[in-house]
């Protein structure tokens, strides 16, 4: 009897511990969001979005150039990462089970786990060093390279839920393979692919390490992709490690804007998937 | 196969067309257009173009891995040929004296990641068990969502939060508590002054960042354990905990280990948050309270100041080591997760 009681006691304690783990694991997120709102919200004003960075001591500094720079970098990254990733996903689906497809799938997963700083060095070696100066293009390509494996895997996953009968129906109607893939299979899975793309964008939007080697940052207004460009995460980093309280509060405001962007994209992605498939897909 | 199936139909179309009066042949615009549409030659070309295009897209992934390796080799070569093995074995990193020994960075990478895993693993597995077994239905989605969101927070935001929130807490509460109240100061690992920026602080932030990856994979493999496994254990009289321990976890073990190694891969290569919290000092110290360096933070911190070629190349050699290590770690992790049968993606 006492053995039995001890067994049930152990069970109860361990189950309680898993509840505790859940509380502890969600606590950091809530704390981070709380501090971002508390410290960041007060520094956010219209100036923040429309003004350029100011030297220390001058009021009214903003991050207009960094916000635009981040959007440009995301645009370049999408131009590189989305077509290659979606194409790769189509390939994996249509060549399921072949040795090459398995190798690509495996390498995509491995590449997803590589440190982003390594991709920065890659872009620096091929796109910055030979040219002799940093550029938004190199930054965008580094981020785009990060997107490729991510989009490849999500696309494949989303495409695999398209029923085979749909594909066969299209082929039976005389559609060539390529049109079947593009106007039937891709269109059916569009919501899922959009989700995958949004998840990838959310992931690269806040990347900083690769940009240190490529986009580099810029104190001035620049939208040229051949020139160094400012980016929100880079600006947050610079301000956060500076010794000035004023810049610290700007860093918090920047972080709040960045996290707002990332969370909104993530939540839209979730909503799109849920509307289409009736449940979250991770 | 499909091309062959469709071809006869196109021939039929041609035959019907040829029955039209000769006077109408050749000039009617719809005719030429129709012929083009049913012409199987065109769609065969279309299929070939499509096939080549998607194959090229798929080759982007292996190509990228090769190009990264090539880029790192080229950039690292001058340092490797000039400094040689002491790049790994020497612990003197002195830019002015042209001495580049990255042992402190290697040590820091290993120790900070180990601290992170020690903290994150029990929590992550606890969350995964909670979500897959015990959580009330209405709590599952929200908690899983919140934990997953941890993975969406950019590294630089973790760093910012770490500098202004975590470091003061570490300096004023956690470190003195560990050292004085728990009397761990007697051991070499928790001794010395508590400044804040330290291996321990970096380990804590890495734990928070690795947690969602470990728990996502663990949850997935736990959910993949067949229901009959649980029912059999309960039917034999096991308590709910004994069911988890004896019937569920053994089944999911290799997947959970894969998840932990995946988290390790994240922790090893994490750059910004660590750079902001670890203190960036190239010294090996047994105490977790002392500042240190990791490979990634060394590169990120010194890259913009590196003016001479050897320094730059030494940083790239550190990058090459980081690449090799994370490549192996991630390869092992993926292999383990795949063993469980479901492609465990994060």
Task: Give the tens place of pLDDT for each residue, B60-114.
Answer: 999 999 999 999 999 999 999 999 999 999 999 999 888 999 999 999 999 999 9
Question: A50 to chain B nearest CA, in Å?
Answer: 22
Q: For residue B152, is it within any domain?
A: yes
Residue A66 lies in a domain: yes
Do both A6 and A89 map to the same domain?
Answer: no
How much is the mean pLDDT over chain B? 86
Residue in B65, B130, B338 nearest the CB of A111: B65
Helices B249-269 and B103-129: angle between axes, nearest 10 degrees: 140
Of A18, A85, A176, the CB nearest to B43: A176
**What residues form DSSP beta bridges with B100?**
B93
Indicate if B27 and B133 belong to the same structural domain. Answer: no
In a domain, A102, yes or no: yes
Domain count, chain B: 2
Predicted TM-score (pTM) of this structure: 0.88
Spatial distance between the Cα atoms of B111 and B206, rounded to a whole number of angstroms? 11
Report the number of distinct structural domains present in chain A.
Answer: 2
Q: What sign results for the dihedral spanned by CA atoms A76, A78, A83, A84?
A: positive
A236 touches B: beta carbon within 8 Å: yes
Burial, B235: exposed, middle or buried (Cβ in 10 Å; 0-12, 13-18, 19+)?
exposed
Residue B53 is assigned to a structural domain of this protein: no
Does residue A282 lie in a domain region? no
Which of A7, A110, A252 lies at the smallest CB-CB distance from B327?
A: A110
| Residue A276 banded pLDDT, cuts 50, 70, 90 | low
Separation between Cα atoms, residue A251 and residue A248, nearest integer Å: 5
Confidence of residue B42 (pLDDT cuts 50, 70, 90): low
Residues B125-184 pLDDT 10s: 999 999 999 999 999 989 998 998 999 999 999 999 999 999 999 999 999 999 988 888
Chain B residues within an 8 Å CB radius of A178 = 43, 46-47, 49-51
Separation of alpha carbons B178 and B264, rounded Å: 25
Q: Which of A92, A121, A171 has its CB closest to that of B316?
A: A121
The answer to whether the CB atoms of B134 and A19 lie below 8 A apart is yes
Mean pLDDT of chain A: 91
CATH number of the domain enclosing A206: 1.10.3720.10
CB contact at 8 A, A153 and B345: yes
Closest chain A residue to B259 measured between Cα atoms?
A113
Residue B28 in 3-state DSSP?
coil
Please give the Cα distance from B247 to B228 (Å, whole number): 10
Give yes or no: residues B121 and B14 share one domain.
Answer: no
- Put simply, the answer to whether A91 touches B343 (Cβ < 8 Å) is no
What does the pLDDT look like over B279-300, one tens digit per residue? 999 999 999 999 999 999 999 9
Which CATH number belongs to the domain containing residue B314 in this structure? 1.10.3720.10
Q: A29 and A155, same structural domain?
A: no
Distance CA A112, CA B211 (A): 17
The reply to whether A83 and A104 lie within a common domain is: yes
A 162-221: CB under 8 A from B:
171-172, 174, 176-179, 181-182, 202-203, 205-209, 212-213
Among B2, B61, B263, B322, most A C-beta atoms within 10 A, so best to mutate, is B61
> Would you say residue B44 lies in a domain?
no
Do A39 and A61 fall into the same domain?
A: no
Q: Same domain for B101 and B31?
A: no
CB B329 within 8 A of CB B261: yes
Q: Which domain holds residue B213?
A: 83-339
Report ipTM (2 d.p.). 0.92
Q: Name residues whose C-beta falls within 8 Å of residue A206's C-beta, 6 or more positions apart in sequence.
A: A232, A233, A258, A259, A262, B153, B154, B155, B156, B157
**Residue A164 structural domain:** 48-277
Beta-carbon contacts of B196 under 8 Å, excluding residues fewer than 6 positions away, are: B167, B168, B170, B171
* Burial class of A130 by CB neighbour count within 10 A (0 to 12, 13 to 18, 19+): exposed
The verdict on residue B174 lying in a domain is yes
Q: Which of B272, B277, B259, B245 is nearest to B330 (CA)?
A: B259
Residues B263 and B127 in one domain: yes
> A39 and A127 in one domain?
no
**Would you call A117 and B240 a contact, using CB atoms and an 8 Å cutoff?**
no
Q: Which of A17, A104, A202 has the CB atom closest to B152's CB atom?
A: A202
| Whether the Cβ atoms of residue B92 and residue B181 lie closer than 8 Å to each other | no
Closest CA to B297 of B313, B325, B276, B316: B276
User: A203-214, pLDDT tens digit by residue?
Assistant: 999 999 999 999
């Amino acid at each position: 009897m006492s053995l039995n009681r001890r067994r049930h006691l152990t069970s109860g304690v361990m189950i309680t511990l898993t509840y505790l783990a859940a509380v502890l694991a969600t606590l950091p997120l809530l704390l981070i969001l709380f501090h971002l709102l508390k410290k960041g919200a007060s520094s956010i004003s219209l100036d923040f979005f429309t003004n350029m960075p100011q030297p220390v001591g001058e009021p009214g500094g903003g991050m207009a150039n960094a916000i635009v720079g981040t959007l440009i970098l995301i645009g370049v990254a999408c131009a590189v990462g989305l077509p290659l990733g979606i194409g790769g996903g189509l390939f994996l689906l249509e060549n399921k089970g072949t040795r090459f497809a398995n190798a690509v799938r495996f390498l995509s997963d491995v590449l997803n786990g590589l440190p982003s700083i390594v991709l920065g060095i890659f872009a620096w070696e091929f796109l910055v060093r030979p040219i002799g100066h940093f550029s938004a293009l190199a930054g965008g390509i580094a981020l785009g390279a990060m997107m490729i494996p991510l989009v490849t895997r999500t696309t494949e996953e989303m495409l695999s839920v398209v029923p085979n009968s749909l594909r066969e129906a299209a082929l039976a109607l005389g559609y060539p393979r390529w049109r079947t893939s593009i106007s039937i299979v891709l269109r059916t899975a569009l919501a899922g692919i959009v989700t995958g793309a949004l998840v990838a964008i959310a992931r690269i939007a806040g990347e900083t390490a690769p940009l240190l080697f490529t986009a580099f940052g810029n104190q001035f207004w620049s939208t040229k992709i051949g020139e160094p460009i400012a980016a929100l995460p880079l600006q947050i980093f610079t301000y956060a490690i500076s010794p000035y309280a004023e810049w610290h509060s700007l860093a918090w405001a920047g972080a709040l804007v960045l996290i707002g962007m990332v969370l909104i994209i993530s939540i839209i992605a979730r909503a799109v998937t849920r509307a289409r498939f009736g449940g979250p897909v991770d | 196969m499909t091309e062959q199936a469709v071809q006869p139909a196109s021939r039929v179309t041609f035959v019907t067309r040829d029955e039209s009066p000769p006077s109408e042949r050749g000039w009617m615009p719809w005719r030429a257009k129709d012929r083009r549409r049913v012409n199987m030659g065109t769609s065969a070309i279309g299929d070939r173009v499509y096939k080549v295009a998607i194959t090229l897209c798929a080759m982007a992934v292996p190509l990228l891995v090769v190009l990264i390796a090539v880029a790192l080799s080229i950039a690292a070569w001058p340092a490797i040929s000039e400094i040689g093995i002491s790049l790994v074995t020497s612990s003197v990193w002195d830019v002015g004296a042209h001495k580049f020994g990255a042992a402190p960075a290697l040590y820091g990478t290993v120790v900070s990641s180990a601290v992170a895993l020690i903290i994150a693993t029990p929590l992550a597995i606890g969350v995964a068990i909670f979500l897959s077994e015990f959580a009330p239905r209405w709590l599952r989605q929200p908690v899983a969502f919140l934990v997953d969101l941890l993975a969406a927070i950019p590294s630089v935001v973790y760093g910012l939060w770490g500098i202004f929130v975590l470091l003061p807490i570490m300096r004023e509460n956690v470190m003195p508590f560990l050292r004085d109240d728990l009397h761990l100061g007697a051991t070499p690992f928790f001794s010395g002054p508590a400044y804040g920026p330290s291996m321990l602080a970096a380990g804590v932030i890495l734990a928070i960042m690795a947690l969602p990856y470990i728990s996502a994979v663990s949850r997935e493999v736990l959910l993949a354990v067949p229901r009959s496994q649980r029912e059999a254990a309960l039917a034999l009289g096991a308590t709910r905990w004994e069911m988890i321990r004896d019937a569920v976890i053994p089944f999911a073990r290799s997947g959970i280990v894969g998840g932990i190694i995946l988290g390790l891969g994240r922790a090893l290569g994490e750059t910004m948050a660590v750079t902001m919290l670890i203190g960036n000092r190239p010294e090996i110290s047994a105490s977790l309270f002392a500042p240190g360096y990791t490979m990634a933070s060394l590169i990120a911190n010194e890259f913009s100041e590196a003016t001479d070629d050897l320094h730059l190349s030494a940083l790239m050699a550190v990058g090459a080591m980081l690449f090799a290590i994370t490549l192996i770690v991630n390869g092992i992790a993926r292999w383990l997760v795949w063993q469980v049968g479901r492609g465990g993606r994060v």
